[in-house]
Amino acid sequence: MQLENKVALITGAGSGLGLATAQAFAREGARIMINDLREEVACHAASALGGEHASIGGDVSREADVDAMVRATLDRYGRIDILINNAGVPDSFVPTVDQPLEHWQRLIDIHLTGTYLVSKKVAPHMIAQGSGSIVNLSSIAGVLGLPVRTAYSAAKAGISMLTRVLGCEWGPHNVRVNAIAPGYILTPMTEELIREGKIDSDRVRRRTPMGKLGRPEDIAEAMIFLCSDRARFITTVIIPVDGGYCAWGAPSDAYTGELTGAIG
């Protein structure tokens, strides 16, 4: 029970990585406010967790919605110990010259501005209580150049720097700010991209030293560590959870073993 009696606000937690994190946090004793853009999805996820967990809809890029989700969490639990900035939307995989400005703006608003805005609204309460842990979702797309993923990559790189800046600013108040940079993880979104032919899972596995894709639980376990007291002296770091993908630099396959039917 590494997070016993901790209160966590998790954005975008109705499915995928956010839901896996909520499930893992509940297992470790945390009380969770699940946010999702789709209120009914957030409500269903919280109900499935049972116990003292709750939900609220809202768009992380809208200040009024963020104010409401922070206030709802404080009204219900009296404090916020953990913030997971997980909310995000998928990229279009369209060449940059063909991308409408609206697409760029929406991804920047949700990923980068949303992370900034929710952190800004939660931080005063963490500072007042003298403790807190914020974990942001960056990506290997914020480290490596991924063609046609322009807005997504720029937003994730921004989140990494925002993590460092806020961690330095709020460290004196014992508020830690870190980030996870997932590699290719088998979320419903990734599985759909594989089915559509936008991601070649065999090529990804060959490029990954561990020869497989990750699973949502892999991200959740890293989140638990960063939010636990075991990480009490860790702040401003961006941890890749990618099976070694970002580290591989040789002009050859990283994994030369047999590719099994299971991709994760």
Residues recognised as catalytic: 152
Find out whether 223 and 84 touch, Cβ atoms under 8 Å: yes
Question: What are 99's two structure tokens?
Answer: 């991308």
Find out whether 158 and 216 touch, Cβ atoms under 8 Å: no
